Amino acid sequence: MVRSLKNPKKAKRKNKGSKKEDGQSSSSVPSMPAKVWQPGVDKLEEGEELQCDPSAYNSLHAFHIGWPCLSFDIVRDALGLIRTEFPHTVYCVAGTQAEKASWNSIEIYKLSNISGKRRDLVPAKTDGDGSDMDSDGSSSDEDDENEENGGPNPPVLQIRKIAHEGCVNRIRAMTQNPHICASWGDTGHVQIWDFSSHLNALAGSEAEVTTGASTMLSQAPLMKFGGHKDEGYAIDWSPLVPGRLVSGDCKNCIHLWEPSSSGTTWNVDNNPFIGHTASVEDLQWSPTESDVFASCSVDGTIAIWDTRIGKSPAGSIKAHKADVNVISWNRLASCMLASGSDDGTFSIRDLRLLQGDSLVAHFEYHKYPITSIEWSPHEPSTLAVSSADNQLTIWDLSLERDEEEEAEFRARMKEQVNAPEDLPPQLLFVHQGQKDLKELHWHTQIPGMIMSTASDGFNVLMPSNVESTLPSTEA
């Protein structure tokens, strides 16, 4: 249940970069490391520090919005369903965890001019001192040089702030109408907002145009629900029924929201769904069944609910030995549900086998609580996980160890290969550098892009070895 950033100090601004509004972004990354460092295995000697390998990323940028953020969501936009060409632009909504309750806000932001370059999956040949001999040059050093010479500029961050009563525990944008957002506050209220005017203002502004982010704007929510008995963190919009919502609290109650015919008000069922014996930590609607959703709890269970058959679970399983913090329902393989626990483990279950042994895979790589888990929207076997051990990992469940292929690769790369032998073959990528990671999301319209939030700000990353099978553009 590790999740809260109550009363934090303001995020420290460690990296110099282009300052836009109250936000700051930076595309600078350190030079390449001298050796591979294994999280949880290797220890740093006195005077040593970790540096990321920029050649492992097609794109990597860091930015912050002032206060730490526990939850955010990527907003669907009208810039294209599948975008593969740099530079990229993303829109997000985020909630703050400010030092004082009255300082909190919901931040609607636009991050534009996200630069990058697609890199080869297999590293180029190197000379004796390990430097890249490829004249094509895809290192960040060359990118930085281009910026100094009038080339690509750093990302531009533009923000609109809406005052929010108390800290934002979780925030989600509706899939069908992304300008409609729901926020869970530590005051115990769930609120629905219409951010269309702010998103339109950001979309219509040029990169150089300021949007007055230093000003805290006041806006009344479309609806405010105070029927929960305690604050909560679980909330999810239905991907099939526009406006349908479920919210769960720390007192084990789940409420169903149904939109009115006007689409601007909601009818909340005051009779809650009750089946867990402890706090409801996360909720996920089924991607194929409009009346079915899943929940997970501190009681260690995952429950499946059908709104048509009453207020008790249609099925329940003991999923983990500790609190179940997060779940993710696979939208491309709807029988698969992933869950992450407070003990650092995460599991994959086949819901078709719910009455029997539904466990498909169980991983014990992380040693600290899992804080976020999400299936890729473009690859059914790929998912990303974040943990309190300051790691964001990407996994491909379709991978298996091939000793012959490994031997061939090692012979080709010679001394360049020094990867650890004991890593799970399904572990595709490890991203580090953020402290106290809280939440991650894949971008549904930019294949391979992940955004993550932590106590020290946001990262936007595109690992070079994460590829997506894109739909054909041919008529």
pLDDT tens digits for 290-305?
999 999 999 999 999 9
Query: Is 51 inside any structural domain?
Result: no
Identify the residue whose tokens are 């054909």. 472
Quote the pLDDT of residue 408.
Answer: 65
pLDDT tens digits for 172-185?
999 999 999 999 99
Which of the two residues, 91 and 24, has the higher pLDDT score? 91
**Whether residue 49 has pLDDT greater than 70:** yes
Quote the pLDDT of residue 413.
Answer: 58
Rounded CA-CA distance 330/296 in Å is: 15
Average pLDDT over residues 465-473: 70
Residue 205's identity, in one-letter code, is S
R_g of the chain, CA atoms, integer Å: 22
Q: By C-alpha distance, which of 229, 306, 237 is closest to 275?
A: 306
Contact predicate 447/63, CB 8 Å: no
Rounded CA-CA distance 132/124 in Å is: 7
Q: By C-alpha distance, which of 409, 463, 412 is closest to 126?
A: 412
- Token representation of residue 63: 């930015």
**Whether residue 243 has pLDDT greater than 70:** yes
Query: Is 202 inside any structural domain?
Result: yes
Quote the pLDDT of residue 142.
Answer: 42
Q: What percent of the chain has pLDDT over 90?
A: 69
Cα angle value 181/346/60 (rounded, 5°) = 60
- pLDDT bracket for residue 96 (50, 70, 90): very high
Quote the pLDDT of residue 40.
Answer: 66
Q: What percent of the chain has pLDDT over 70?
A: 77
Between the alpha carbon of residue 92 and those of residues 74, 84, 199, 229, 409, the distances in Å are 4, 19, 9, 29, 40
pLDDT tens digits for 378-402?
999 999 999 999 999 999 999 876 5
Q: Which has the minimum average pLDDT: 42-51, 83-92, 120-129, 142-151? A: 142-151
Average pLDDT over residues 250-254: 98
Quote the pLDDT of residue 120.
Answer: 76
Q: Mean pLDDT across the chain, nearest whole number? A: 85
Structural domain total, the chain = 1
Q: Which of 34-43, 136-145, 205-214, 278-287 has the highest mean pLDDT?
A: 278-287
**Whether residue 85 has pLDDT greater than 50:** yes
pLDDT tens digits for 100-137?
999 999 999 999 999 999 887 665 554 444 434 333 33
Task: Name the residue range of residue 375's domain.
Answer: 60-116+153-463
**Whether residue 9 has pLDDT greater than 50:** no
* Strand 245-248 with 88-96, pairing: unpaired
Query: Is 392 inside any structural domain?
Result: yes
Query: Is 34 inside any structural domain?
Result: no
The order of strands in the sheet holding 457-463 is 18-20, 23-26, 57-64, 457-463, 450-454, 437-442
Query: Is 399 inside any structural domain?
Result: yes
Query: Is 129 inside any structural domain?
Result: no
Which CATH number fits the domain that encloses residue 374? 2.130.10.10
Tally Cβ neighbours within 10 Å of residue 208: 8
Cα angle value 143/146/151 (rounded, 5°) = 115
Rounded CA-CA distance 332/438 in Å is: 24
- pLDDT bracket for residue 164 (50, 70, 90): very high
Which residues make beta-bridge pairs with 450? Answer: 442, 461
Between the alpha carbon of residue 15 and those of residues 47, 146, 154, 334, the distances in Å are 20, 19, 13, 41
Query: Is 305 inside any structural domain?
Result: yes
**Whether residue 21 has pLDDT greater than 60:** no
Quote the pLDDT of residue 29.
Answer: 46
Query: Is 50 inside any structural domain?
Result: no
**Whether residue 12 has pLDDT greater than 50:** no
Q: Is the sign of the CA dihedral 239, 437, 341, 463 positive or negative?
A: positive
